[in-house]
Chain A
Amino acid sequence: MILHNLMEWMADTPWSVGLHESRYAYSIVESIHVWTLCVFVGFAVFLDLRLLGVTLKGVPVSQITERILPWTKVAFVLMVISGVMLYFAIPLRTYHNVFFRLKAVLLIAAALNAWVFHNGGMYRRLAEWDSAAVTPRAAKLAGAFSLALWIAIIFSGRMIAYNWFDCDKPEPAVIDLLAGCVR
C-alpha cells in the first residue's frame, strides 16, 4: 500500500507526466531500450554460448570477459537507465503489472546467477579451462541458466506493454493477489 501510494504520487510528478504524454520521448526511450537489448543480450548470449561450448571454441573465455564484458556493462547501464525511464513514465500501472513483477524476479535470478558464476570456484580456476573447447559442467550450467533467464526476461518485458491483467478491471483473485491490486 505504501508503494502503491508512492507510485500514485510518482505518476503525478511533472517528469512522469511529461514522459508519458510526450509525442516522441517515450518512443525514443523505448527504442534505446530495444537497441541496448540487442547489444547487451547479444553479447551476453555469445558469452553463454561460449560457456556452453557451442561457439567461439577457439576464443579463450578470459578474452570474452576482458574484451567484451566492458561493452556489455555499458549497454547494461544504458538499458537500466532507459528501463527506469520507461517505468517512471507509467509507474502505477507498471507497479501492478504481473509481467513487470515476473521480470523483476527473473532479473534478480539472472543477477544471482551471474554473481555465483563470477565469484564461484570454477571461475577462479578459469586459467585451467580458459581455452578448452569443452567447458566444465558448472560453466555450462551458468551459461544455460543465463540463456534461459534472458529469454524469459525478454518475453516478460515485451508482455508488460499488454494490459491483459489490469487492476482497473475485474480479475480472478489470484491475479489480484499477484498484481497487488488495491480494490
Chain B
Amino acid sequence: MLLPYFQALEAGSIGEAIRDSTWLFPFIEAFHLVGLAVIGGAVLLVDFRLMGLGLRRQPVAALARDAQPWLIGGVVFMIGSGVPLFLAEAIKCYYSFAFWTKMTALALAIVFSFTVRRRVALAGEAGVGPFWMRVVGVTSIVLWSTVGWGGRWIGFS
C-alpha cells in the first residue's frame, strides 16, 4: 500500500545525490552515530537515576531538566541525518523488518519520553514511588535500545 510512496521517495533528488556519491552515505552515517552517543548519554543519565543508579544524589527533576535540551536536540539531529539515509534506500527500508521495528519503537520512545517519563521525572521524588520510577527507567531504556539495534540491523538486511 505504501510501496509507491517509498518508490517515489527513493527516486527523489536527495536520495539520488546520496547514492551517486561515494562519501556522502558513510559521512551522514557517522554523523548519525555521533547523534546516537548524545541521545544515549541524555537518555541514560536520567534513566539510570530513575532506576536508582548513577547520579543518585541529584534530584531527578534537575537532571531531567538538564538532559531535556540534549534529548530534544539529539532527536532532531538524528531525524535530520536519518531522513537522508532513508531517502537513499527507501525501497530497501520498505522490505526491511528492522526498519519497521525501529520506526515503531521510535514512535513509542518519543511519545513515552515526552509524556509519561517527562512527567514522572519532573515530579521527582514527590511523584511516583521508587518502584514505578524503575519501571519508567527500564521501559525507556528498552524502547530506545530497540531503536538503536533496529537501526544497526537495517544495514545488515
Contacts and interface: CB of A to CB of B under 8 A. Distances in A.
Interface of A: 27, 30-31, 34-35, 37-39, 41-46, 49, 55-59, 63-64, 67-68, 71, 150-151, 154-155, 158-159, 161-162, 164
A64 B48 CA distance: 13
B131 interface: no
B123 interface: no
Nearest to A60: B57
Given A55-B66, A159-B30, A42 B58 contact: no
Grouping DSSP codes into helix (H, G, I), strand (E, B) and loop, the A interface class, with mixed when no group exceeds half, is helix
A31 B33 CA distance: 12
Q: How large is the interface on B (under 10, 10 to 19, 20 to 34, 35 or more residues)?
A: 35 or more
Contacts, number: 97
Given A27-B153, A46-B45, A68 B54 contact: yes
Nearest to B36: A38
Contact of A39 (B29, B40, B67): B40
B70 A154 contact: no
Given A42-B42, A58-B58, 20 more contacts: A31-B152, A31-B153, A34-B152, A35-B148, A38-B37, A39-B40, A42-B40, A43-B44, A46-B42, A56-B63, A59-B55, A64-B55, A68-B45, A68-B55, A154-B30, A154-B34, A155-B30, A155-B34, A159-B26, A159-B30
A58 B69 CA distance: 16
Contacts of B36: 34, 37-38, 42
Contacts of B55: 59, 63-64, 67-68
Contacts of A56: 63, 66
Interface string B30-54: 1001101111111111001000011
